Amino acid sequence: MTLGIIAAVIILFIIYVLWDNQKLDTTHYSIKIPYISESLKGIKLLQISDPHIRNNRADFQKLIEEAKEAKPDLIVLTGDLVQAGLEDFPAEAVTKLAESLTAIAPTYAVTGNHDFSYTGNQRWQLALLNGGAQLLLDKAEWIPVKDSGLVLMGLAEKGDMKQTSRPLLQHIELPPALEKFPKILLAHHPEFFEEYLDDRTKAPDLVLAGHTHGGQVRLPFIGGLFSPGQGLFPKYDYGYFYRDSEPARRLIINRGIGNSTFPFRVFNRPEIVVITLQ
């Protein structure tokens, strides 16, 4: 192979990666939750994760179009809404996104590790609240849907999750009256999936997570290349997982929309996730 051919292949590959990074996939899952009310069967949750907003001119037109087309009953944001380390917090873009989403369906949000640096001075919270979103920071709430409802729990980011006291869900306030109902946990970090199930009164039927960006680079027949908190070839990179001893306890990892330190995705389009409960 001549140098010219090698150069052409590299250029074509770069063009492909740049083009692919501008696309947005919608991934659908149908999840059966035991003992779910008949009136809840068929409802849709739209999950958005890891936008990593950097400026107030963020363009989410395609995202909003896809969200409208999905016709969700609920929308959930599973962390890293903004990029860490910004001098100017993109409050306008965050509020505009929240307004656009809440116009489609009730929207609930939890923090990710990048959001954590902005929560102390409440910029993150205020921007979302001003847009009409609701925050689930170490909270559990009964969410009425149609003629019934379900329990949404949200795990707040703690900074260094590995050093956080266990069990991880201990700070979530779950009223005893809600323990018997189906529970969905919004938690940015998927690598602690097994630990989320340790507290039996709060063990979720379904965990919705992000953080991994799908492994950033996805290798054919292998999967994700790297994830923070898991390192090379992470076990929990993207998609659908369940606990071997309890197959009814499921995890869905959204590969997210934006990028963090590494600016490109390879064989790994941005995505939103639509979950239909059965």
pLDDT confidence of 103, banded at 50, 70, 90?
Answer: very high
- Structure confidence by residue, pLDDT tens digits, 180-212: 899 999 999 999 999 999 888 899 999 999 999
* Nearest CA among 170, 161, 163 for reference residue 211: 161
**CATH architecture of the domain with residue range 3-277:** 4-Layer Sandwich (3.60)
The CA-to-CA distance between both ends of the chain, in Å, stands at 54
Measured in residues, the chain has a length of 278
CB-based contacts of 195: which residues, under 8 Å, 6+ apart? 166, 167, 168
> What pLDDT, on the 0 to 100 scale, is given for residue 178?
92
* Nearest CA among 136, 200, 198, 144 for reference residue 172: 136
- Structure confidence by residue, pLDDT tens digits, 142-152: 999 888 899 99
Residue 168 confidence (pLDDT) above 70: yes
- Structure confidence by residue, pLDDT tens digits, 27-85: 999 999 988 989 999 999 999 999 999 999 999 999 999 999 999 999 999 999 999 99
Residue 120 confidence (pLDDT) above 80: no
State how far the alpha carbon of 115 is from the alpha carbons of 10, 32, 46, 78, 91, in Å.
35, 31, 20, 11, 12
Buried b (16+ CB within 10 A) or exposed e, 183-206: bbbbbbbbbbbebbbebeebbbbb
> What pLDDT, on the 0 to 100 scale, is given for residue 10?
87
Ranges of each domain in the chain: 3-277
Looking at the chain, the whole-number percentage of residues with pLDDT higher than 70 is 100
Parallel, antiparallel or unpaired: strands 271-277 and 44-48: antiparallel
